[in-house]
Structure 1
Amino acid sequence: MTDELPVRIVDGRGVRAPGIGPVAMVWLPVDGQVIAKIPPRKGNRRWLHETVGIRSPELDDDRWKLPRSSLVRLVTAAIDRYGFIVLWRDMSRLSQCTRACLEATGVECQCSCLGAHHGQDAAGWFERVGDAVVADRGEFTRTAVVYGPRGSDADAVVYEGKLAGERYRVDRASRRDWPAAAQFMCASCMTVRAAVWDHCHTHGFVRAPLCNRCNTRYWQGWRPQHGRATHSRNFDDSYYRWCPEHSNTRRQCSA
């Protein structure tokens, strides 16, 4: 990994580049539940329940114990929320890389390629950022991979409400016909390519594609009403209007 990467793994910790907000850390052991450490924030339980679709998220100290079946949804939702996620994965040393690995549609598998080929033949909603950090733990191998939003090679265009009225979802079936956020310019600052899909946390509708900096501005303290300047003088929150309930209810749309 290089210094240019937005998130690096150094001595077992996620080190962020300037301007990158807190990221989630997730551990997938060989067996048992997924262990997630997400940045402390009011509403985390509700986010795990309503957005990620976990019926009863269990908090143990500062870590969440979650079902293995939720892993792909958790990675997708966390990338939309934080921009990046670090996934620690323990893999059996006896595992074999097969065609099933190349055709995998999620991030959970046991294979000797250390995840390098995982999902290669499938259109995913996230992609690896940099190389895996590998540690030998005897009977299994531990890897740490940073995942970020899916990119696009096409010229970015202005978003015109393609997903207007769509409920925000993080499962693959619901997102099958969604374009990548990176196909559009950020609907907030309009100065860089978007990276993730923003949604209204109050009403649950997709709003617009945003760049990571605009999407995580509250993590960085960019609150104009508190006298703190935004990262771009072009910042505009009019994209809130893409929530169909924005002007029809007293429950204000949330960031």
Structure 2
Amino acid sequence: MSEFGIYGDLHVSLENHVATAEIRRPPNNFFDLELIDGLVSAFGDLDDDENCRAIVLCAEGKNFCAGAQFHNDGSRGGEITAKNSDGSNRHLYDAAFDLFSCKTPVVAAVQGAAVGGGLGVACFADFRIAAPEARFTANFARLGFHHGFGLTVTLPSLVGQQKALELLYTGARIKGAQAAEIGLVDKLVPLAELRSAANDFASEIAASAPLAVESIRQTMRGHLPQAIKAATDHEKEEQDRLRGTEDWKEGVTAMNERRVPNFSRK
């Protein structure tokens, strides 16, 4: 497999019209603006390469993406804002809009935890192939927080409104088999076969006429970037508001101390 490029902690290769984009931040593969911008840059370059017709998104180590890393004081382990060349601010959700604007079909291979924003990254993909050991959770409410990364749009589109509400309200953790039952996962395969199964799935896409696939994808998903923009604008407002609450501080502290949070509605 020939190397296509390295984008920070994202390593990309391309062979037989299928690219493999591997996140290399093991074991948890926490995400931040730098990582999502790496995905945007890589996928943009792959969009421009006529040899690429599908992408496998995977991660090194035991987890797919455990979301953002939070410290006891509620601060993140990675930056979610940066300065553009013109001096304006670039937020994580600006990168999310750009990511959803990419044109090449993406198959996510989920081997372990896809938590919080990591679930959002998994739901960005056109398809999800997972192992039974995979774990999916939208644990935001258990942290005293609002969900993000466009899950307002993507989660109910995959599992339906009621199941999405259940997952968001309760923060329930579901494994690969249950995720497949509710439509969150498209195909369940043994862990040892995960990468090859995802590559085979992507190869089936790559075998179709690329202009036709691009046209169909635009018809089916062309509305997503603007829908994600509207959703993340609201998600960010609510996240900023809730980040100032005592419940948020308690939720993060309880998570790091591995105990049940004691929320006070403050």
Asked if Structure 1 and Structure 2 have the same fold, meaning a TM-score greater than 0.5 normalized by the shorter chain, the answer is no
Structure (1 or 2) with the greater helix fraction: 2
TM-score with structure 1 length normalisation?
A: 0.31
Larger relative contact order, structure 1 or 2 (CA cutoff 8 Å, min sep 6): 2
